[in-house]
């Protein structure tokens, strides 16, 4: 089935029907209408999959996609128009252009943690760029995946966009095919598998992965405000967010005040009984629940620590000074557990942060702007914030993506269109003048050419 589907899409692409800007915008508008009309269905599906609060579903999933679609429709003509660039003097007289052309058949593999937004957002960019798409949503969120499939069927021909549902076997079969581009969002380990499969056919890829994201709180930070913003950024979606703060590095003089502020903010957000709160999501499945529960073993939980396997609940948890070789500090946590490590000098910051691969995000809290900028410039990471967490994701003018182990490539807004477009450079030479110096015979011309090159 999958090879036949890919052949159908390649044949459809060759007809040129995906290339019309007007047709692309018509389909994107139809998709927008469907997504707006079915927003309640989408938030219901997300709740059924892992008890995601409706507010979080709108804020972090449906609203982002709707804004992205509207922005793409508005800007598509400008993005797709050939861009004139300054020509090289050596090519005088000429006009030079950049043409954006679609790659062709694109595979998008979406994750489970934001199963709607991280499926539809890259799809929008791929369609806007003129590609055909096979979208593989996560099997761990069956309600959301089925709804996405139903919506796509109402808007697109299957030879243009198709949703393929299934588990690991399905993903494996998809990766065995020869795609023109692959866009993957997920774990580092699976990202390496995707990269290896893509390398067989030299297929270009975007890999949106993760990492152990540090959050630095220095001795000048506004602790109350930092606690509030960190609580939200860490525990939204029950901590199952690739750009969530993974661990805190706090100046030793601020730790006690921070713990007090954190306890207050957790109770404000989720009450003294977070398990009863309607504003706190659940862990996606038992496998991840058990993985996270092991991280709590023999730890000093200043806040939380309670678990319930029957409902896949893990309380918003703050751990005091875990050792670097403990389970909670080995890899990305991806859950509602926040380790806090105190430091006395900046050398410890550098030692800890550099002991991990380059993270997807980094956060700094402090009133000393020069110090914050120094830290931002000192470490390599995908993107981040000063005095806040995760909000850099919301700006479509900023590219979103990792570096090194945390990812390859970036998207959002115009960057998504660029991701799914090959930039084709074209030189248009004029005929009214033809400078003969470049033509053979070359005798006596080298000195002149060297003088010209040195002058340029």
Rounded to whole angstroms, the Cα distance separating 418 from 204 reads: 13
Structure tokens at 135: 């979208």
What is the separation, in whole angstroms, between the first and last Cα of the chain? Answer: 57
Q: Select from 365, 361, 267 the least CA-distant residue to 316.
A: 267
Rounded to whole angstroms, the Cα distance separating 313 from 293 reads: 10
Q: Cα 78 vs. chain centroid, distance in angstroms?
A: 24
Q: List, in sequence order, the alpha helices (H) in 296-357.
A: 327-330, 346-353
Query: What is the chain's Cα-based Rg?
Result: 25
DSSP 233-286: HHHGGGG--TTS--EEEEEGGGHHHHHHHHHHHHHHHH-S-GGG-TT----S-H
Query: Which residue in the block uniquely carries the two structure tokens 């128009």?
Result: 81
Rounded to whole angstroms, the Cα distance separating 162 from 292 reads: 34
Rounded to whole angstroms, the Cα distance separating 304 from 263 reads: 9
Q: Select from 270, 188, 186 the least CA-distant residue to 236.
A: 270
Contact call for residues 250 and 342 (beta carbons, < 8 A)? yes
What single DSSP character describes residue 394?
G
Q: What sign has the CA pseudo-torsion 25, 74, 207, 422?
A: positive
Q: Select from 421, 423, 424 the least CA-distant residue to 122.
A: 421
Rounded to whole angstroms, the Cα distance separating 169 from 333 reads: 26
Helix, strand, coil % over all residues of the chain, rounded to 5: 45, 20, 35
Enumerate the active-site residues: 208, 242
Instruction: Report the relative pairing of strands 83-85 and 317-320 from DSSP bridges.
Output: unpaired
Contact call for residues 283 and 241 (beta carbons, < 8 A)? no
Q: What 3 state SS string does 68-125 have?
A: HHHHHHHHHHHHHCCEEECCCHHHCCEEEEEEEEECCEEEEECCCCCCCHHHHHHHHH
């Amino acid at each position: 089935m999958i090879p036949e589907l890919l052949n159908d899409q390649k044949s459809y692409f060759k007809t040129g029907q995906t290339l019309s800007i007007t047709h692309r915008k018509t389909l994107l508008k139809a998709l927008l209408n469907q997504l707006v009309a079915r927003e309640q269905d989408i938030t219901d599906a997300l709740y059924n999959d892992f008890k995601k609060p409706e507010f979080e579903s709108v804020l972090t999933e449906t609203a982002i996609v709707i804004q992205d679609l509207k922005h793409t429709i508005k800007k598509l003509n400008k993005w797709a128009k050939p861009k004139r660039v300054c020509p090289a003097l050596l090519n005088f007289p000429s006009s030079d252009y950049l043409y954006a052309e679609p790659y062709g058949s694109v595979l998008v593999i979406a994750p489970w943690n934001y199963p709607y937004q991280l499926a539809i957002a890259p799809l929008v960019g791929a369609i806007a760029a003129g590609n055909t798409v096979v979208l593989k949503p996560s099997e761990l969120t069956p309600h959301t995946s089925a709804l996405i499939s139903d919506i796509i069927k109402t808007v697109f021909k299957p030879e243009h966009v198709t949703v393929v549902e299934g588990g690991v076997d399905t993903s494996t079969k998809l990766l065995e095919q020869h795609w023109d581009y692959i866009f993957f969002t997920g774990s580092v380990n699976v990202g390496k598998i995707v990269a290896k499969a893509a390398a067989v056919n030299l297929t270009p890829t975007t890999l949106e992965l993760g990492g152990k994201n540090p959050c630095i709180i220095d001795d000048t930070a506004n602790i109350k405000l930092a606690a509030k913003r960190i609580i939200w950024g860490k525990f939204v979606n029950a901590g199952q967010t690739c750009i969530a703060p993974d661990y805190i590095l706090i100046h030793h003089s601020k730790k006690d005040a921070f713990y007090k502020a954190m306890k207050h903010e957790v109770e404000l957000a989720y009450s003294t009984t977070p398990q009863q709160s309607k504003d706190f999501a659940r862990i996606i499945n038992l496998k991840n629940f058990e993985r996270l529960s092991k991280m709590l073993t023999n730890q000093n939980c200043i806040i939380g620590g309670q678990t319930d396997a029957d409902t896949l609940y893990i309380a918003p948890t703050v751990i005091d000074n875990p050792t670097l070789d403990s389970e909670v500090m080995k890899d990305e946590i991806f859950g509602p557990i926040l380790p806090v490590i105190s430091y006395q000098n900046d050398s410890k910051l550098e030692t800890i942060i550099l002991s991990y691969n380059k993270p997807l995000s980094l956060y700094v809290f402090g009133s000393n702007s020069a110090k914050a900028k120094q830290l931002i410039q000192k470490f390599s990471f995908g993107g981040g914030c000063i005095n806040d967490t995760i909000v850099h994701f919301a700006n479509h003018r900023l590219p979103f993506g990792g570096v090194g182990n945390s990812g390859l490539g970036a998207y959002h807004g115009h960057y998504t269109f660029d991701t799914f477009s090959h930039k084709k450079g074209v030189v248009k030479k004029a005929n009214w003048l033809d400078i003969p110096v470049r033509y053979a015979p070359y005798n006596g011309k080298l000195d002149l050419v060297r003088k010209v090159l040195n002058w340029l």
